[in-house]
Amino acid sequence: MVKPSNSFHQVPLLLLLLVVASAREYNNKDIITTTSTISRNDFPPDFVFGAGSSAYQIEGAASEDGRKPSIWDTYTHAEKVVDKSNADIGSDQYHKYKDDVKLMHDMGLDAYRMSISWPRLIPDGRGAVNPKGLNYYNNLINELIAHGIKPHVTLNHFDHPQVLEDEYNGLLSPKIIEDFTAYADVCFKEFGDRVKSWSTFNEPNIQTLLGNDIGMFPPERCTYPFGVVNCSKGDSTTEVYVSAHNILLSHASAVNLYRKTYQGKQKGQIGITLLAMWMEPLSDSLRDLAATKRVIDFHLGWFLHPLVYGYYPATMRKNVGSRLPYFKDNESEQLRGSFDFIGLNHYQVFYVSDVARSLDDNSRDYALDTSAWVGGPPAIRVLKNTKEFLDFSRLKGPELPLAPWGLQRLLEYVRVNYKNPEIEINENGSPLLTSTGRNDTKRVEYLQVYIKSLLTSIRMGSNLRGYFVWSFMDCFEFLFGYTVEYGLYEVDFNDKDRKRYPKLSAEWYTTFLTKHGKERKSYSY
Ligand SMILES: *[C@@H]1O[C@H](CO)[C@@H](O)[C@H](O)[C@H]1NC(C)=O
Ligand SMILES: *[C@@H]1O[C@H](CO)[C@@H](O)[C@H](O)[C@H]1NC(C)=O
Ligand SMILES: *[C@@H]1O[C@H](CO)[C@@H](O)[C@H](O)[C@H]1NC(C)=O
């Protein structure tokens, strides 16, 4: 009998977040010369450029002013992150938001991608709104607007209230739908006069895998042999699909509420944000092509297919069978078209190949015989386990290969297969070791080639409307704690004031955004 499971596809996904040196030879000089002349004026006038963060990662003030724990507070306090860190203080944006908004303004950002902490706004998960939480987000939003910066707000960036996890296992229960919708209602009602861009969930396609399949994100649920840790609870063969299903239904419910009650007068837009790596077949053999299609379906189609068509991709229905929940007719109806835009978080490319070896391990839903590598020919590395990749001492660094063609192929795939939806690149950026400091030339190269590649995708007909660098400033990283950073601004985490310093990438992005526009200002802080 074939053992049901699904856990193979997470390996590639993890890896991309992890390390591995690129094999692709890149001529950096060419990149810099050919891109140094581009500026935001090469883009359509209404194209939005921004940078991002998320509440748990950047706010700090974890137990101040009535905030209660999210599942990430519980997880980090148990010292589960690689450097045993937490974000109790984090980048302390809760106290420094005015200074930060000034930096954003000086940089020339059109928009700031932020998220609201559900347990700061509604500490018990449902019911009473915390007036101090409400006040904080009103202040932050007002400060942004006063500086001409549009808040693009995510409702749930991995951090739902711990109390809902304790009460009914959070995303695993359909009860989350009602509570999430009520939370979204408070946000639309209180902030929707000023917030014109909402994303319901951030990267649910990786959140569910890490949390409910391999157990390396809260709520740490998994079953042998699929966990990278030994979990005390869970069922890897089913829960990953159930939690994703409940997220999709929660999303559809919140969008339905927004459209019926708020959108007419508030005139904002609403969508969802997915992790979207590009999967490239290692060869053009039919087997590799088929394997690649499966990986894409289980990674992106899992969410995008129901959002566009109202049902899961055929590959998933076939391989997962009865363990895949189904949508009732009215649910399918509510899901289909339940977005004004799709947010895509893109970092890198994976190579996919059909691997006969995995047939021995009759345990994979989407792979069955698929494996994936990161990097590129000729120096392809098979990635075995996560521990190996978290050990940076064995590696040159977490730098990602420069492969902007992967983003172009991703956008083309979405355009052709998913009815050319409006797209915002909600995250793109380069992880570097914290020891890199402010001279982040690798990040500058990365941002240059990726931003330039957007022009090609727009010419090809993609409905791209915005781009956000991850991240505006260094912050707690979910997989890496403080060992790896993505920020345009450095934050000195050893300094009690969490002083901010512009990196080279901050200067580059500022020049890109303001060269022909606003007067460039000094970085005095
Ligand atoms: C999980 O438990 C099994 C058997 O009890 C053990 O062999 C394995 O090393 C454990 N794995 C981890 C990651 O702790
Ligand atoms: C679908 O219909 C059922 C009753 O048949 C109802 O309980 C449920 O709330 C409906 N769901 C949606 C999303 O309309
Ligand atoms: C920054 O790093 C680059 C190489 O990565 C080096 O050539 C350059 O001299 C460095 N600049 C400073 C100011 O240290």
User: Does residue 3 fall inside a structural domain?
Assistant: no
Taking the CA of 255 as reference, the closest ligand is 2
Active site residues: 203, 427
pLDDT per residue over 75-105, tens digit each? 999 999 989 999 999 999 999 999 999 999 9
User: E strands, 420-462, where?
Assistant: 422-427, 432-433
CA distances 70 to 119, 326, 496, Å, are 6, 29, 24
* Cα-to-centroid distance, 441 and ligand 3 (Å): 7
Phi (first) and psi of residue 222, to 5 degrees: -170, 170
pLDDT per residue over 396-430, tens digit each? 556 777 889 999 999 999 999 999 999 999 999 99
Taking the CA of 503 as reference, the closest ligand is 3
Taking the CA of 224 as reference, the closest ligand is 1
- Domain with 69, as residue range(s), is 11-524
Say what angle helices 404-417 and 441-459 make with each other, to 10 degrees. Answer: 30
Taking the CA of 174 as reference, the closest ligand is 2
b/e per residue 276-290 (b: at least 16 CB within 10 A): bbbbbbbeeeeebeb
How far apart are alpha carbons 376 and 71 in whole angstroms?
Answer: 36
User: Does residue 102 fall inside a structural domain?
Assistant: yes
Phi (first) and psi of residue 424, to 5 degrees: -115, 130
pLDDT per residue over 19-57, tens digit each? 222 223 333 333 333 445 688 999 999 999 999 999 999
* Cα-to-centroid distance, 209 and ligand 1 (Å): 20
Residue with tokens 């053992």: 3
Q: Which atom of ligand 3 is least distant from the CA of 439?
A: 1
- Provide the pLDDT for residue 477: 96
> Ligand 3, atom 4: nearest CA belongs to which residue?
441
How far apart are alpha carbons 518 and 513 in whole angstroms?
Answer: 8
Nearest to 450 by CA among 436, 432, 470: 470
Sign of the C-alpha dihedral computed for residues 85, 471, 189 and 131 taken in this order: positive
Q: Which atom of ligand 2 is least distant from the CA of 334?
A: 13
User: Does residue 42 fall inside a structural domain?
Assistant: yes
Please indicate, yes or no, whether the overall pTM of this predicted structure exceeds 0.85.
yes
Q: For the CA atoms of the chain, what is the radius of gyration?
A: 21
Q: Which atom of ligand 3 is least distant from the CA of 441?
A: 5
Q: Which atom of ligand 3 is least distant from the CA of 504?
A: 1
**What CATH number is given to the structural domain containing 426?**
3.20.20.80
How far apart are alpha carbons 472 and 140 in whole angstroms?
Answer: 15
Choosing from 328, 331, 334, 335 the residue with most ligand 2 atoms within 8 A of its CB, the one to mutate for a pocket test is: 328
Taking the CA of 338 as reference, the closest ligand is 2
CA distances 96 to 69, 85, 354, 462, 498, Å, are 21, 21, 50, 37, 9
- Per the CB < 8 A criterion, the answer to whether 90 and 59 are in contact is yes
* Cα-to-centroid distance, 368 and ligand 2 (Å): 35
> Ligand 2, atom 10: nearest CA belongs to which residue?
330
Please state, as a whole number, how many other Cβ atoms lie within 10 Å of the Cβ of residue 210: 25
User: Does residue 215 fall inside a structural domain?
Assistant: yes
- Per the CB < 8 A criterion, the answer to whether 75 and 62 are in contact is no
* Cα-to-centroid distance, 328 and ligand 2 (Å): 8
* Cβ of 441 less than 6 Å from ligand 3: yes
* Cβ of 260 less than 6 Å from ligand 2: no
* Cα-to-centroid distance, 163 and ligand 1 (Å): 29
How far apart are alpha carbons 75 and 84 in whole angstroms?
Answer: 10
* Cα-to-centroid distance, 231 and ligand 1 (Å): 10
* Cα-to-centroid distance, 43 and ligand 3 (Å): 30
Q: Which atom of ligand 2 is least distant from the CA of 256?
A: 13
How far apart are alpha carbons 345 and 361 in whole angstroms?
Answer: 31
Residue with tokens 């049902």: 311
* Cβ of 439 less than 6 Å from ligand 3: yes
Residue with tokens 């985490």: 493
Tokens representing residue 238 in the block: 């089913």
> Ligand 1, atom 10: nearest CA belongs to which residue?
230
> Ligand 2, atom 7: nearest CA belongs to which residue?
330
> Ligand 2, atom 6: nearest CA belongs to which residue?
330
> Ligand 2, atom 13: nearest CA belongs to which residue?
331
> Ligand 1, atom 5: nearest CA belongs to which residue?
230
User: Does residue 1 fall inside a structural domain?
Assistant: no
User: Does residue 4 fall inside a structural domain?
Assistant: no
**Domain total of the chain:** 1
User: Does residue 6 fall inside a structural domain?
Assistant: no
Nearest to 137 by CA among 189, 178, 74: 189
How far apart are alpha carbons 331 and 369 in whole angstroms?
Answer: 33
- Provide the pLDDT for residue 315: 87
Residues with CB under 6 Å of ligand 1 are 229-230
* Cα-to-centroid distance, 127 and ligand 3 (Å): 53
Sites in the chain below the pLDDT cut of 50: 1-35, 357-363, 366-395, 517-525
Please state, as a whole number, how many other Cβ atoms lie within 10 Å of the Cβ of residue 132: 15
Q: Which atom of ligand 2 is least distant from the CA of 253?
A: 13
User: Does residue 36 fall inside a structural domain?
Assistant: yes
* Cβ of 328 less than 6 Å from ligand 2: yes
- Per the CB < 8 A criterion, the answer to whether 156 and 171 are in contact is no
* Cβ of 156 less than 6 Å from ligand 2: no
CA angle centred on 390, ends 388 and 393, rounded to 5°:
85
Q: Which atom of ligand 3 is least distant from the CA of 442?
A: 5
CA distances 502 to 48, 156, 491, Å, are 22, 28, 9
CA distances 176 to 10, 76, 180, 498, Å, are 24, 23, 6, 35
* Cα-to-centroid distance, 337 and ligand 2 (Å): 18
How far apart are alpha carbons 90 and 485 in whole angstroms?
Answer: 13
